[in-house]
Amino acid sequence: MDVASPPLSTGPDATGTSAVRPSRTVLRLSLHAAWILALAILTELRVGRFGFHPSDQGFILAQAWRVLHGEVPHSDIISARPLGSAYLHIVDFVLPGPLFFVSSVLSMLEIILATIAFTVLVTRRRVRDWGPGLTGLTAAASLLNLNAFPLMAWHTIDGIFLTACGAWALDRGLREGKAWPRRLGLVLLGTAVFVKQSFAPVPLIALFWLLLHPSTRDGAFRTGRWWARLAWDLLALGAFLILYLGIVLVDGGLGAMAEQLTGGVPAYGERLLGLWLENPETLTRPPVRGLPLFAIAGVLLALLGIFRDRAGTAGAIAARLLLLAGVAVVVGTVVDGHFTGASRWADVLWWILGVALLVNWAATRRFPRMGALVFATGFMTSLSWGNDTPTLFTGTLALTAILLLADALPPLPAPSRRIGLAGATAMGLVAVLASGWAVVAHHDEAAYLDMAHEKLTEDLGTVTPSMRGIRTNPGTFAYIAQIQDCVTRFPAARTAVLPDNPFAYPAFGLRNPFPLEWPLPLEIVADAPQRMLATADELNRDGDYLVLFQTVSMPTLTKGGPVPAEVAGDAPIFDYLGMENALRTRLTGQTVTCGSFIGKWVPRP
């Protein structure tokens, strides 16, 4: 399946090809840059900006807001994960435009670039050599990677992006003998673990890749120049480690960091690894039923690859029919999964990729290392509390499985260039349109933790400029407008909105005095309860604070309300583990109400 254009000629001729080639390269790269940027913006305009939930859709931005104001990870900010994403997303505040809109576009750019990077690694084809087929398939895979997920800054997206782009740069640097892409790749790969612990294997993979690559082994242990190169490479791999630990160490927070990062509930990927083990009958139900069908097609394709000389032309044709069957199974798995994590469709695609790896290995007699890297990244992506499945990686899993099967095909005479180009173009276009339609249709039916498209009638830009263009339902709009009214009526130097409102801090420019943005039960690690209560005592002593407590639960907002216009000062507040009620009792400020919120307020002296 040739879905890429042939490489450009490198030889000069009498007509000046050597002078024309750079301009053609620039044109091709410009066209690729154009579709990447266009896809990111269009996805945000049509999908990402519709629907908003006050909880996780501002979590990473809230942490970045604190880091931007000089707060130190683990000393000032309690976190069960390293706060590498908080540093990465400082850029969201720098770029012009409404914060939440710009941040969403950047997240989609991360998804697209990560998808491109893995496609380059698996196909071994430079982006500038891609034709419309591979370009369309990659764009479609990017949309499938988003699927039903909200378009927002998120640490898992950062981890995938750093892994993919770091591997892309490292691979190029090692193959071409260039220092700057090699070291850039090492910096990115070394940073991946600091956005989320589940990406801890990434620096180890990078280290083994570096040490075992032929270009690195050449001259090993022989010259001082080799040792100097290795030292600089290791420094690049550990650059973010040195920066992050240095910041924490200077503030005296290493002990707190160790307690916080080891104090959370571990995730082992047991649901992914045991997809059908608890109930083998699952293999006969959608979407898992596609896995045995794909395995059957894969085994037959592997046999045809092993015995390609005996099978001849008939075998090569049969192999292509099996490839079509495999593609149909992948597409059917996506359709059967309905983009819902509960169906475990992403798990099925991960296992399908595992089968494709073995098929490719058997048929080509070479281990598909880049496909294995995709497989490993899928597992790391699944290590999560709330979404323990590689849902954010589905498009790349599906595309890689198809590409590995295609690579295992016995050779056949290629069609004419015109026919091949037309077929590839049609395939890429159909893939983009189908995946785009599916993503839009699902988000229109029910945006993430929000309502159907036609019910998202309110623009949050009328509440705060940082959220211009973001649409939500009238209930959530009223809830967010009440927060804005509260902080206007009761100004204070330090303001908290507890518990499920991390978005409020960057959206309204508030400074949270507590060490947690979002005190979910799983996020409360180490000495978080004691530090939260100690902060309340500090607020009582210093004054000039406003602490708001929500009375409306997040599931209520997901359904569009109701959000009361006013509540009594003694109304019950929403509380997870008794933390919010303990703080409410401990704070000595005057009780105030505004909309559905109850607050404790001490005005400026």
The ranges assigned to domains in the chain are 25-217+237-411+423-445, 473-602
Mean pLDDT of 555-571: 95
pLDDT, one tens digit per residue, over 38-69 is 999 999 999 999 999 999 999 999 999 999 99
> Cα(517)–Cα(583) distance, rounded to whole angstroms?
15
The predicted structure's pLDDT at residue 219:
62
**Nearest CA among 484, 447, 478, 491 for reference residue 465:** 484
CA gap 185, 210 in Å, rounded:
11
Average model confidence (pLDDT) across the chain: 93
Please give the pLDDT value at position 1. 43
Residue scoring higher pLDDT (71 or 310): 71
Query: What pLDDT score was predicted for residue 218?
Result: 67
Contacts of 255 (CB under 8 A, 6+ apart): none
- pLDDT of 17 > 80? The answer is no
Neighbours of 296 (CB within 10 A): 15
pLDDT tens digits, 259-281: 999 999 999 999 999 998 878 99
Three-state secondary structure call for residue 600: strand
Where does the pLDDT of residue 402 fall: very low under 50, low under 70, confident under 90, or very high at 90 and above?
A: very high
- The tens digit of pLDDT for each residue in 83-93 reads 999 999 999 99
* 80 HSE (CA, 13 A, CB side): 18
Rounded (to 5) percent helix, strand, coil in the chain: 65, 5, 30
- What per-residue confidence (pLDDT) applies to 398? 98
**How would residue 223 be classed by pLDDT, with cut points 50, 70 and 90?**
confident
The side-by-side arrangement of strands in the sheet containing 590-594 is 494-498, 545-550, 597-602, 590-594
Selected residue with higher pLDDT from 259 and 25 = 259
230, HSE (Cβ side, Cα atoms, 13 Å): 20
Lowest average pLDDT, out of 61-65, 154-158, 202-206, 267-271, goes to: 267-271
Query: Which residues fall within 8 angstroms of residue 299, CB to CB, at 6 or more apart?
Result: 359
The two tokens of residue 320 are: 């292509």
- Of 129, 120, 125, nearest to 5 (Cα)? 129
Q: What is the pLDDT of residue 5?
A: 37
% residues pLDDT > 90 (the chain): 86
How do residues 464-520 score in pLDDT, each as one tens digit? Answer: 999 999 999 999 999 999 999 999 999 999 999 999 999 999 999 999 999 999 999
Q: Can you read off the two tokens belonging to residue 566?
A: 């006013």
In whole angstroms, what is the distance from residue 348 CA to residue 286 CA?
10
C-alpha–C-alpha distance, residues 539 and 381, integer Å: 39
pLDDT-derived band at 300 (thresholds 50, 70, 90) equals very high
Residues 311-349 pLDDT 10s: 888 999 999 999 999 999 999 999 999 999 889 999 999
Q: Quick one: which of 56, 36, 187 has its CA closest to 105?
A: 36
Strand partners, 599: 548, 592
Confidence of residue 435 (pLDDT cuts 50, 70, 90): very high
Question: What's the average model confidence in pLDDT over 190-218?
Answer: 92
Which residue intervals of 95-196 are DSSP H helices?
99-123, 132-146, 155-176, 179-192
Question: Beta strand 494-498 with 590-594: parallel, antiparallel or unpaired?
Answer: unpaired
Q: Which residues contact 598 (CB under 8 A, 6 or more apart)?
A: 548, 549, 551, 567, 569, 571, 573, 584, 591, 592
Separation of alpha carbons 178 and 219, rounded Å: 16
Helix/strand/coil (H/E/C) assignment for every residue in 202-266: HHHHHHHHHHHCHHHHCCCCCCHHHHHHHHHHHHHHCHHHHHHHHHHHHCCCHHHHHHHHHCCCC
Average pLDDT over residues 428-447: 96
Helix (H) or strand (E) holding 375: helix 369-382
* Length of the chain counted residue by residue: 605
Position 10 scores a pLDDT of 34
Cβ(440)–Cβ(39) below 8 Å: no
Specify the pTM: 0.95
Residue 236 has pLDDT above 50, yes or no: yes
- For residue 531, what pLDDT is reported? 97
Residue 291 has pLDDT above 60, yes or no: yes
Q: What is the pLDDT of residue 50?
A: 97
When pLDDT is cut at 50, 70 and 90, the band that residue 25 belongs to is: confident
DSSP character string of 339-352: T-GGGTHHHHHHHH
pLDDT tens digit string along 239-254?
Answer: 999 999 999 999 999 9
Q: How confident is the model at residue 12 (pLDDT cuts 50, 70, 90)?
A: very low
Tokens of 561: 């309300």
CA distance 298 to 351: 12
310 or 287: which carries more pLDDT confidence? 287
User: 251: how many CB neighbours lie within 10 A of its CB?
Assistant: 16
Q: CB within 8 A of 482, min separation 6: which ones?
A: 563, 594, 595, 596, 597
Q: Which amino acid is at 591?
A: T
Instruction: Examine the pLDDT at 444 and tell me if it is beyond 50.
Output: yes
What local confidence, expressed as pLDDT, does residue 475 receive?
97
Q: What is the mean pLDDT of the segment spanning 194-203?
A: 97
How many other β-carbons are positioned within 10 Å of the β-carbon of residue 265?
Answer: 9
5 vs 117, higher pLDDT: 117
- Looking at residue 222, what is its pLDDT? 67
Task: Decide if pLDDT at 220 tops 70.
Answer: no
Report the C-alpha gap between 383 and 378 in whole angstroms. Answer: 9
Read off the pLDDT of each residue in 576-589 and give the average, rounded to a whole number: 95
How many whole angstroms separate alpha carbon 520 and alpha carbon 578? Answer: 11
| Mean local confidence (pLDDT), 567-576 | 95
> How many Cα atoms within 13 Å fall on the side-chain side of residue 131?
20
Predicted confidence at residue 23, as pLDDT, reads 83
Residue 16 has pLDDT above 50, yes or no: no
Task: Output the furthest CA–CA distance in the chain (Å, rounded).
Answer: 90
Region of residue 575 (phi > 0: left; psi between -120 and 50: alpha; otherwise: beta): beta
Q: Does residue 221 have a pLDDT over 50?
A: yes
Which of the four pLDDT bands, split at 50, 70 and 90, describes residue 214? confident
At 80, is the pLDDT very low, low, confident or very high (cuts 50, 70, 90)? Answer: very high
Please give the Cα distance from 429 to 423 (Å, whole number): 10
